[in-house]
Amino acid sequence: MKHLISGVSRFQKEVFPGKQKSFEQLATGQSPEVLFITCADSRIDPNLVTQTEPGELFICRNAGNIVPPHSQQTGGMTASIEFAVAGLGVSHIVICGHTDCGAMKGALAPEKLDELPHVKEWLGHCRCASSVLKEKHGEIDHSHLDLLTQENVIQQLQHLKTHPAVAAKLATDQVQLHGWVYDIGTGDVQCLDEASGEFTDLQSAYAENSKLASNA
């Protein structure tokens, strides 16, 4: 804890003064453009990866960057998504998976999670991704971890579309969905091309989309 406490002190003395005006504005409200849903893994820092400042991302984190399908049972993710979309009016939603994900390892071998019953139940929301891979490849194992990570992002995007606030904004083109996978070891980010169902380099994909938009 010592380094956390000393970090707070450094923030107050060295960082905050240079950003004081921005924090004074944020003290009275927020208007983030992006809802960023990612894993709770300690190696993932959304603001660091995207080089964004406080107030720019509305961040939701959980094991496996999971979005449970909408139901009448209220949960933290459901409420947070509704607030970000219907309350704050975000215009983009990113679901970001990552390499070497412990949750995806658990989804590959749920029989090993008997002593973690809540984790096992939570990862039931990844079962669709596992089923898709099994249908494509037969039995799956650790060698399919990266593929499962990608497929999980795809399936969580599908779950996201079941949430009424999201469905309404999608129907009126007020929100865009994005699927990303972050590589911890290289810093690379791959993004989902919905047309092909493939993940491609983030920079190249968005550059190509910009060209297509400008030529339209």
Binding-site positions: 39, 41, 98, 101
- The answer to whether the CB of 175 falls within 8 A of the CB of 91 is yes
Separation of alpha carbons 73 and 60, rounded Å: 18
Tell me the pairing of strands 34-39 and 92-98.
parallel
Which residues are annotated binding-site positions for Zn(2+)? 39, 41, 98, 101
List all residues 6 or more positions away from 165 whose beta carbon is below 8 Å from its beta carbon.
81, 82, 85, 86
With CA atoms as reference, report the closest residue to 50 among 4, 92, 103, 102: 92
For residue 194, CA distances in Å to 74, 91, 111 come to 29, 18, 32
Separation of alpha carbons 22 and 16, rounded Å: 9
